[in-house]
Chains A and B, each alone.
Chain A
Amino acid sequence: AQSVTQPDIHITVSEGASLELRCNYSYGATPYLFWYVQSPGQGLQLLLKYFSGDTLVQGIKGFEAEFKRSQSSFNLRKPSVHWSDAAEYFCAVGAKEYGNKLVFGAGTILRVKS
Chain B
Amino acid sequence: DVKVTQSSRYLVKRTGEKVFLECVQDMDHENMFWYRQDPGLGLRLIYFSYDVKMKEKGDIPEGYSVSREKKERFSLILESASTNQTSMYLCATVRDRSSPLHFGNGTRLTVT
Q: Measuring CB to CB, which residues of chain A are less than 8 angstroms from any residue of chain B?
A: 4, 6, 9, 32, 34, 36, 42-44, 46, 49, 51, 90, 92, 94, 96, 99-107
Contacts and interface: CB of A to CB of B under 8 A. Distances in A.
B31 interface: yes
B43 A90 contact: yes
B105 A99 contact: no
Interface in B31-84: 31, 35, 40-45, 48, 50, 58-59
A58 to B, nearest CB: 15
Interface of B: 31, 35, 40-45, 48, 50, 58-59, 90, 92, 94, 96-98, 100-101, 103-106
A99 B97 contact: yes
Contact of A104 (B40, B44, B100, B106): B44
Nearest to B29: A100
Contact of A101 (B48, B98, B105, B106): B48
26 contacts: A43-B90, A43-B105, A43-B106, A44-B90, A44-B103, A46-B101, A49-B100, A51-B98, A90-B42, A92-B43, A92-B101, A94-B97, A96-B97, A99-B50, A99-B97, A100-B31, A100-B48, A100-B96, A101-B45, A101-B48, A102-B45, A103-B45, A103-B59, A104-B42, A104-B43, A105-B42
Contacts of A42: 105
Residue among B40, B42, B50 with the highest chain A CB neighbour number at 10 A = B42
Given A44-B90, A90-B42, A105-B42, A34 B100 contact: yes
Given A100-B50, A103-B59, 19 more contacts: A4-B42, A32-B97, A32-B98, A34-B100, A36-B101, A43-B103, A46-B100, A92-B101, A94-B97, A99-B97, A100-B94, A100-B96, A102-B45, A103-B45, A104-B35, A104-B43, A105-B42, A106-B40, A107-B40
